Structure formats: C-alpha cells, structure tokens
Amino acid sequence: MEKRVVVTGMGVISPIGNDVPTFWSNLISGVSGVDIIKAFPVDDLPVRIGAEVKDFDPSKWIDLKESKRMDPVAHFGIAASEQAIQDAGLNESSLNPEKIGVIVGSGIGGIQTMENQHSVLVTKSHRFVSPLFIPMMIPDIIPGRIAINHGFMGPNYSVTSACATSSHTIGIAMRHILCGDADVIVTGGSEASISPISLAGFTNMKALSRRNDEPQKASRPFDINRDGFIIGEGAGIIVLEEMEYAIRRSAPIYAEITGYGFSGDAYHITAPHPEGKGQALAIRSAINMSGINLENYEYINAHGTSTPLNDKYETVAIKSVFGQHAFDLNISSTKSMTGHLLGAAGAIEFIALCLALKNQLIPPTINYDEPDPDCDLNYTPNKAIEKSIHAGLSSNFGFGGHNAVLAAKKFEF
C-alpha cells in the first residue's frame, strides 16, 4: 500500500492566540492581532505597528533557567512544539525515538540576540559578549532543543528560505516520512523578528504598511488600498505521521497532507515574477503530487501579504493554473489577521488550512473593502463561510524567489 501522511498534532503561538483553539476562534471571527508595537519605543518611527505575540509566558513551557539561555524565537518554537507533541500524544514511552524527527525553520533566527549582543560589543568590549551568543542566535538550535527535550533521534535540522521557510520544512518532513526515514516528524517554523533593526530594514525597503493610525485595518490583502505587509511573530508546529502508524496508536488526525510543490522565480531578490511563473510551477507541482484533480480543490490559503505586487501576481499565478475554476475557489489571506510571520507563516497558515478542512469552515480575508481590478477572485471578504471542502492549498513565497506550496485534503480512511 502506498504510504500516506497525516497531521496528528498542532501547536500555535501567534498574535491572535497562544494555543490552537484560541487561534482558530479568533481567525474565523476576523480578529486582528495588529497594534502599536509595545516591545520598544516607536513614537518617532515611520512604521509603528506590528503583530506581536501577547500575554506569552515562556515559563509555562520552558524551565526558567533554560529560558534565559534562549532567544524569543526559541521560546516560541519550543512552546508551540510542546503543544503539538502533547496534542499528538508523542510522549508515549513505547514509541521508537530513532524514527521521530524534528525539522523546524526560521527565516531570520535569533535577531534580537544578535542586535543585543552587537550593542554589547560596541558599547563595552568583546569580553562582555555572551558565550551563549551563537547558540542563542542560530535557527537550528530550535529543532536541536526540541529533540533534546524529548529524546527524538530521527532527522534533525533547520531550513531557511525567507517567507517560504516553514512550508518547505513541512513539505520536506512529509518526504522524509514517505521515504521511510522516519515514522513521525515534528515540523514547522518560528520567528521573533520584531526588533528595531528588523523594523528599520523592512521600513527602508518600503515593504511595510504605514497605516499607523488604523493598526487593525492595516493588513488588507487584495484590497486596492493595500500599502504593505505587517511584520508579525510567533510559531506554528505540527506533527506529521505515516497514516498506518498514526492509526495503530489511535492518534488524532486533523487532515491528510497530499502534496508539496517548490520552485524558484529566478527573477528578482524581492519582487515576484510579474507572470507568476515560479509560483504557478510550485502550485502545479503540489497538485500533481496530490493526485487530486484541479476542479476538486475548493480553497486556497494564499500568501496574500497585502503588498501591491505580491497580491496582484499571486492572483495571476492562481488563474494561470486553475483557469476558469479559479473563479470558483474560495481564497483567503489569514495574514490580514495575524500579520506576516515570515519564516513561521507557512506553518501557521497550513494549520489554518487543516482546521478549515476539519471544520468545513473557511476563514475570511478581513479589511477587504474596495476590490482591486487586478485582483478579481473570491477572497472570502470579511466573514468566514461554511463550505464543503475536500481539498485545499497553502502557498508561501519568499524573498529570493523561493516558492513552496502544500496540498492537503479532508482525512478519510
């Protein structure tokens, strides 16, 4: 029998909730997690808004002494992984740790630690730089710590591909399971890049919304008045398992992951290809791997960043793949609520796709007030809808022209 891979556990730390039920409830209710940034002074900055994680206490998930040896990017990733591992019941002593892997990525890694320790170097001296600086900064420390915490000895590494990072980690994890490298993989992404230097960098490249007076309305994917993305933070972690293995141990099953497509634009370091060629290639690849006909897809959780070019060219890519059926699809950008979690976006949004399939409920694109003639599809404006969904896609595209698309379907034996 051909192997199948299913989702058996989920964990979320996000701007709209620090557990899966809260995240999902706020998502389908159209709650925005965007506000004035509280982490550092922003009064004199041209961009003062972001989607920060709120009311997060790392000590709920991590020993206090150990948490001080970590960057917030690890706090988020470990907290979300603990949720997912508990949800999937991976703490069973009967499981073979050699067949359980951890693949978790981050687009930027421990940039808050980098910024802080560079300040120490400049204002004091090299002697005061923390000996923990390197392990606090590098992204691969997150899967390393998760594996150490649980004794998981299977495939273990990190992936970095900007905003496509955690879509890549999930797709790669699925392939490891299909190849027999592991029975179970804990996978996803984490990001904690709301810092002065990150904000300055994204601001100066004119990527961010400047709608400071209306933070909750600033992220408005596909709307004609969109003016940039909202920098967000958090983590999304899932547990993927070979289906027969999951069934034997009576694990909960949220959805089945059926396809993974990836490509490069080979066009520009930040701008998407104007004909959506690379994006379309990744979408087609995911669909082809899934074995599900185009007309049987009902939903796409889009990349939908709320930037002028991305939303326009993503629409072009969708239409080039689906043709007339593109107009029958429901599309939504949950970034309208969570902001853009960069390397964690793919995982958070794949979780949203799986929950949409399980609950037969499509989350909205909020702040969709005035249509853009160049974005003429059904973006599920402002209100969640109940709909029979058999199959869907989650798309994420990153700086550098990195494209990754995941396909999933409602789980059926």
- What token pair was written down for 114? 């980098």
What's the CA gap between 53 and 247, in Å, rounded?
Answer: 35
Look at residue 1 in the predicted model and tell me its pLDDT.
63
Q: What is the pLDDT along the chain (413 residues), one digit of tens a residue?
A: 689 999 999 999 999 999 999 999 999 999 999 999 999 999 999 999 999 999 999 999 999 999 999 999 999 999 999 999 999 999 877 899 999 999 999 999 999 999 999 999 999 999 999 999 999 999 999 999 999 999 999 999 999 999 999 999 999 999 999 999 999 999 999 999 999 999 999 999 999 999 999 999 999 999 999 999 999 999 999 999 999 999 999 999 999 999 999 999 999 999 999 999 999 999 999 999 999 999 999 999 999 999 999 999 999 999 999 999 999 999 999 999 999 999 999 999 999 999 999 999 999 999 999 999 999 999 999 999 999 999 999 999 999 999 999 999 999 98
Dihedral sign, Cα of residue 121, residue 64, residue 52, residue 379: positive
Q: Which of 228, 270, 285 is nearest to 397 (CA)?
A: 270
Q: Which of 326, 317, 323 is nearest to 277 (CA)?
A: 317
What's the CA gap between 16 and 56, in Å, rounded?
Answer: 11
What's the CA gap between 388 and 38, in Å, rounded?
Answer: 40
- What token pair was written down for 17? 């909730």
- What token pair was written down for 90? 């991976």
Q: Which residue type occupies 283? A: I
Which of the residues 75, 273, 303, 402 is marked catalytic?
303
What's the CA gap between 152 and 129, in Å, rounded?
Answer: 32
Look at residue 237 in the predicted model and tell me its pLDDT.
98
Which of the residues 150, 340, 354, 375 is marked catalytic?
340
What's the CA gap between 371 and 312, in Å, rounded?
Answer: 12
Look at residue 2 in the predicted model and tell me its pLDDT.
87
CB neighbour list of residue 307: distance below 8 Å, 6 or more residues apart: 207, 226, 228, 229
Q: Is 354 a catalytic residue?
A: no
CB neighbour list of residue 240: distance below 8 Å, 6 or more residues apart: 5, 6, 7, 8, 170, 173, 174, 177, 184, 185, 187, 257
Q: Which of 353, 369, 371, 267 is nearest to 312 (CA)?
A: 371
The structural domains of the chain, ordered by start, are 5-248 (3.40.47.10), 260-407 (3.40.47.10)
Q: Is 163 a catalytic residue?
A: yes
Q: How many degrees, rounded to 5, is the angle at CA 96 between CA 94 and CA 97?
A: 120
Locus of tokens 């981050």:
106
- H-state helical runs in 184-276: 196-204, 243-248
Which of the residues 150, 163, 168, 354 is marked catalytic?
163
Phi, psi of 365 (to 5 degrees): -100, 110
Query: Across the strands, what pairs with 231?
Result: 340
- What token pair was written down for 204? 């100066």
Task: Give per-residue burial for 178-189: e unless 16+ CB within 10 Å, then b.
Answer: eeeebbbbbbbb
Phi, psi of 251 (to 5 degrees): -75, 150
Q: Is 340 a catalytic residue?
A: yes
